[in-house]
Amino acid sequence: MAKRESNVDRVYEALRRMAADFAFKPDQRINESALSEVLGASRTPLREALNRLVAEGFLTFQNNRGFFCRPLTPSYILDLYEARVAVECEALRIACSRASDVDIAGFADYLDRMEPDYQSATELEELLSLDESFHTRLVQLSGNSELERMLKNLNGRIRYIRLIDLKRMRDQADGQAPGDVSAHRKVLDALRSRNVSAAVEALRSHIEKRREEATEAVRIAFSQLYVPDE
Amino acid sequence: MAKRESNVDRVYEALRRMAADFAFKPDQRINESALSEVLGASRTPLREALNRLVAEGFLTFQNNRGFFCRPLTPSYILDLYEARVAVECEALRIACSRASDVDIAGFADYLDRMEPDYQSATELEELLSLDESFHTRLVQLSGNSELERMLKNLNGRIRYIRLIDLKRMRDQADGQAPGDVSAHRKVLDALRSRNVSAAVEALRSHIEKRREEATEAVRIAFSQLYVPDE
DNA sequence: GTGTTCAAAATTGTATACAATTAAAAATTC
DNA sequence: GAATTTTTAATTGTATACAATTTTGAACAC
């Protein structure tokens, strides 16, 4: 019987979470020996996991200098959100012409079932997971596993920023409430009537709006990231 | 002074090339010891490189069973080409509204300079490199390094298929000649006049046309891949 | 004080050894 | 002879050791 989760998997998961939450500060050099002690594994499996994270864009690597946390700049955030637009809009376009009525109905059901949770969610993490799952399921409707894979990767790297964004939305409460699913429903309605251009435009403007908010929020993120160690 | 290229880099490059050219057959299990001898490195750096390739989608991995060559199915090819449409069309859209006139002019110059090479190219590899560089440069015009990164990855994984496709184009000579850059020029012209929808549609139909050819060519690829070892 | 050089310490790079696991082969049962 | 168990071999998983390289910092010159 094969062990479900190996040590490398465990290390990888822990590292991905740390990288996603910026437990490493941008551009910080990562000390392998210290990290391997913290994670309870030797450097060999640790480095394998680190290499995976480099390939996925969570970390960077320099010869003979080791692994570094990715930088966090406004243009990096912009790039990630633009990539999301590319992936999600094309997936939606494909879904409009290829997804079955049954699958779309299932997606609509899902949104109906989730809406109460969405509006009553208290934890930001919970809210973010719900939002992520909407977008993930949308891309899954395309049936394209490469697009799905790309979105998962982008979501992982963008997660921290979205958390900051959501937090600000809740605290300020000036624009739409964090639990507002109207934009999602607009996309769904257009998808249901197979109106490609309306669906894509609705999704595009939704993501771009979030991008603008996030770009603003990243300044706040910066100030939080560089809080001195205790 | 830092060594330019490390051993892992060398191993990684060799492996990527092997994977891109399907030197490993689809679903074939990869023997680490044997491979490390061939590549002249121990298993430690080899496995680091293999892990990177898994993260990039060139290989797969199963716990306690090791690394395998990715499968090659028609739906996999479809997914890759659709992902290319997503990445390239969005990059083009961004380039239309953001690239400077100077950069676009530089791109036009590049196409002019390359056209003679394109038409006189005898080696398929050379032709493919020229075609890839057109698409890469187009995406670079967007200034989005995530989209560029995604395209590089897709190109690497799609390379073998395109080679088969080009080969068939040359051998059959029924449709357009392999050196035909008219589709590329159409995209460029629309970009130059900042006509977003015309540019995107031209690019989309170009890639999709290639996808159809490639999907057809993949059957030939299959028969070539499974030639028995000698 | 600033910059340079050199030595010491820390860190990364990789080979190797051995444990854990899986795959293959041989023996056994029916 | 087919199916099952047992044994053996091969392969992967990971710790460790040590070499190569980089970083640190102390001594020194100016």
pLDDT computed for residue B50 by the predictor: 97
DSSP label of A142: T
pLDDT computed for residue B172 by the predictor: 74
**Looking at domain B74-225, does it have CATH number 3.40.50.2300?**
no
Name the H helices within B121-181.
124-140, 145-172
Nucleic acid strand C within 7 Å of A4 CB: no
pLDDT computed for residue A174 by the predictor: 60
Question: Tens digits of per-residue pLDDT, B15-37?
Answer: 999 999 889 999 999 999 999 99
Nucleic acid strand C within 7 Å of A43 CB: yes
Q: Do B6 and A64 touch (CB under 8 A)?
A: yes
Mean pLDDT across the stretch B44-50? Answer: 97
Which nucleotide lies nearest residue B45, CA to C1'? C14
Residue B81 buriedness (CB in 10 A; 0-12 / 13-18 / 19+): buried
- A180 shares contact with chain B (CB less than 8 Å): no
Which nucleotide lies nearest residue A34, CA to C1'? C11
**Among B78, B86, B94, whose Cβ lies nearest the Cβ of A90?**
B86
pLDDT computed for residue A44 by the predictor: 97
Q: Which residues contact B78 (CB under 8 A, 6 or more apart)?
A: A144, B211, B215
- A146 shares contact with chain B (CB less than 8 Å): yes
A1 CA → D1 C1’, Å: 29
Nucleic acid strand D within 7 Å of B48 CB: no
* CA B165 – CA B171 distance, rounded (Å): 10
Residue B6 has pLDDT above 80, yes or no: no
Mean pLDDT across the stretch B209-221? Answer: 84
pLDDT computed for residue B73 by the predictor: 87
pLDDT computed for residue B167 by the predictor: 82
Question: Tens digits of per-residue pLDDT, B201-211?
Answer: 999 999 999 99
pLDDT computed for residue B170 by the predictor: 80
Q: Which token pair is B222?
A: 């299959």
Mean pLDDT across the stretch B52-79? Answer: 94
User: Which residue of A146, A148, A161, A201 is the best one to mutate when testing the B interface, meaning the one whose CB has the most B CBs within 10 A?
Assistant: A146
Question: Where are chain B's structural domains?
Answer: 7-69, 74-225
- Taking the CA atoms of residue A17, residue A20, residue A22 and residue A28 in that order, the dihedral angle to the nearest 10 degrees is 90
In the stretch 4-23 of chain B, residues with CB closer than 8 A to chain A read 4-6, 9
**Residue A61: strand, helix, or coil:** strand
A26 CA → D27 C1’, Å: 35
| Ranges in chain A, pLDDT < 70 | 1-4, 173-179, 221-230
pLDDT computed for residue A229 by the predictor: 41
pLDDT computed for residue B221 by the predictor: 62
Question: Tens digits of per-residue pLDDT, B142-194?
Answer: 999 999 999 999 999 999 888 888 888 887 766 566 667 899 999 999 999 99
- A52 shares contact with chain B (CB less than 8 Å): yes
**Looking at domain B7-69, does it have CATH number 1.10.10.10?**
yes
Nucleotides of D under 7 A from a protein CB: 11-17, 21-23
Residue B124 has pLDDT above 90, yes or no: no
> CB of A70 within 8 A of CB of B78?
no
pLDDT computed for residue B130 by the predictor: 92
Residue B1 has pLDDT above 60, yes or no: no
Q: Do A82 and B94 touch (CB under 8 A)?
A: yes
pLDDT computed for residue B227 by the predictor: 53
pLDDT computed for residue A2 by the predictor: 46
Instruction: Say which amino acid occupies A135.
Output: H
Which nucleotide lies nearest residue B3, CA to C1'? D21
pLDDT computed for residue A117 by the predictor: 86
Question: Over pLDDT 70: what percentage of chain B?
Answer: 91
Q: Do B90 and A91 touch (CB under 8 A)?
A: no
pLDDT computed for residue A218 by the predictor: 77
- Taking the CA atoms of residue B198, residue B204, residue B210 and residue B214 in that order, the dihedral angle to the nearest 10 degrees is -170
Mean pLDDT across the stretch B84-111? Answer: 97
pLDDT computed for residue B204 by the predictor: 98
Residue in B13, B162, B86 with CA at minimum distance from that of residue A90? B86
